Structure 1
């Protein structure tokens, strides 16, 4: 959901990295951007939220972030498992522009396994 704080982060990162409108729309539907700008924009947002620190995925911070957003215990547990899994998947990545896309691919790949609903892909 788009809180004012989150919109501020998005706008700050948009100014810094200038992803296209198409890329922004795509990211909302979990489409990984192709351009360096789009990828670095994702990394920027993750860094501003705090789940990426010094170019590395911070799984403890990601878990705290999830816990602050979710009230449903079962949902939260599923997300914790997904965070664990994706933390392993992106563990070797130390470039913040590479982490965003990798993380998104991981979420798309494994969310169904943990029975987590993803945003609907708009049909092309």
Structure 2
């Protein structure tokens, strides 16, 4: 179980790390989400250090960020919002858009099994993306 938490934490951080390092807008969103989810100021550092899921409220901070991006809507995976985000971000890179589509088609049922628990939905989205080698969706400007 401890290895699973560490692995999932690493996967989450790998996707979110780039944005936190390079996007002022995402830093604003991460701070808003940190406060909204009741995490202390160390949560932002935990995210940068690839330890967010080990941190109290970490999955829920990720869920909050995904909600802002349209990837989670009404406590559930939003496939349309995810694909819209992918199309905006990847533009002409049709191969990457197709990889995102294939990844989420392959594990949509598993992700949707968490509907209602937005924090677990965020966790499963990240795991699905990484396990299916989908291009990260969180590198775009928000």
Mark yes or no: TM-score above 0.5. yes
TM-score (norm 2): 0.66
> What is the aligned partner in structure 2 of residue 20 from structure 1?
43
Structure 1 residues 26 and 86: CA distance shift in structure 2, 3 A: farther
Q: How does 1:1-124 map to 2 (within 5 A)?
A: 1=19, 2-17=22-37, 18=39, 20-27=43-50, 33-71=53-91, 72-94=93-115, 95-111=117-133, 116=134
Structure 1 residues 92 and 117: CA distance shift in structure 2, 3 A: closer
Counterparts of 1:45 and 1:13 in 2: how far apart (Å)? 7
CA RMSD in angstroms, aligned pairs only: 2.3
Higher helix content, 1 or 2 = 2
In structure 2, runs of 5+ residues without a counterpart are: 1-18, 137-142
- 1:8 Cα offset (Å): 2.6
- 1:4 Cα offset (Å): 4.0
Q: Which shows bigger deviation, 69-78 or 81-90?
A: 81-90
Counterparts of 1:76 and 1:56 in 2: how far apart (Å)? 21
Counterparts of 1:22 and 1:8 in 2: how far apart (Å)? 14
